[in-house]
Amino acid sequence: MLGRKAQVLAAAVRVLGGQGTRALTHRAVDSEGGLPAGTTSNYFRSRDALLSGILGYLLEQETSAFASLAGAPRPVSVDELAARLGALLRELAGPARTLTLARHAIFLEAAHRESLRVELLTWSETLWAWGGEWLTALGSREPVAHVRQVLAFADGLLMDRLARGGEGEFAPEEPLAALLGALLEG
């Protein structure tokens, strides 16, 4: 995504991730992006259209991140997969924190908006397929079910870190490895 529309969406993510859904207005996005008044409205006429645009933008960002992970050599052990997922979660909780908070806000909106839920599910199926390939290579007999459980657990660890903070380093590898080990043994 290039140009002014991408500027609008990047600003919208900063508003949503930095201030929450109540702060997300066309005016706030224009202000955050240093854009002329009415720019956001020109691209996204309604709040629903803006939310859909943000979801598309977030999915594009995440697809790029997961595609680079999926294109990497498959992990050969539970510990290696847990290490990769742990590194990703640290990135999402740290440098990409605002993007992650915006993602979670959009996910909550999807619970109430069918159009967002459909788009999110379509993208999720791609992610589950990628993860399922890795889990199959590690011996999973139910790769899609297992990847959904791992990602839900990872999202829980991430949300806990974002909402509650925490002392010291964020080290999700050990609980991830424990879950992966249990799933693959079962």
The answer on pLDDT for 42 being more than 60 is: yes
User: So what's the architecture of 47-185 in CATH?
Assistant: Orthogonal Bundle (1.10)
Domain segments of the chain: what residues? 47-185
So what's the pLDDT on residue 25?
A: 98
pLDDT given at position 62: 81
Q: What is the pLDDT of residue 70?
A: 63
CA 49 from chain center: how many Å? 19
Burial class (CB within 10 angstroms; exposed 0-12, middle 13-18, buried 19+) of 34 = exposed
Whether the pLDDT of residue 2 is over 70: the answer is no
Instruction: Tell me: pLDDT of 50 over 90.
Output: yes
> What's the pLDDT at 169?
87
Is residue 166 pLDDT above 60, yes or no? yes
DSSP state of 20: -
Paired tokens of 27:
């005016």
Q: Is the pLDDT of residue 117 over 90?
A: yes
Integer Cα distance of 21 and 15 in angstroms: 8
Per-residue DSSP letter, 36? P
The answer to whether residue 68 scores a pLDDT higher than 90 is no
- Residue-wise pLDDT for 119-164, tens only, equals 999 989 988 998 899 999 999 999 999 999 999 999 999 999 999 8
* pLDDT band at residue 104 under the 50/70/90 scheme: very high
Q: What is the mean pLDDT of the chain?
A: 92
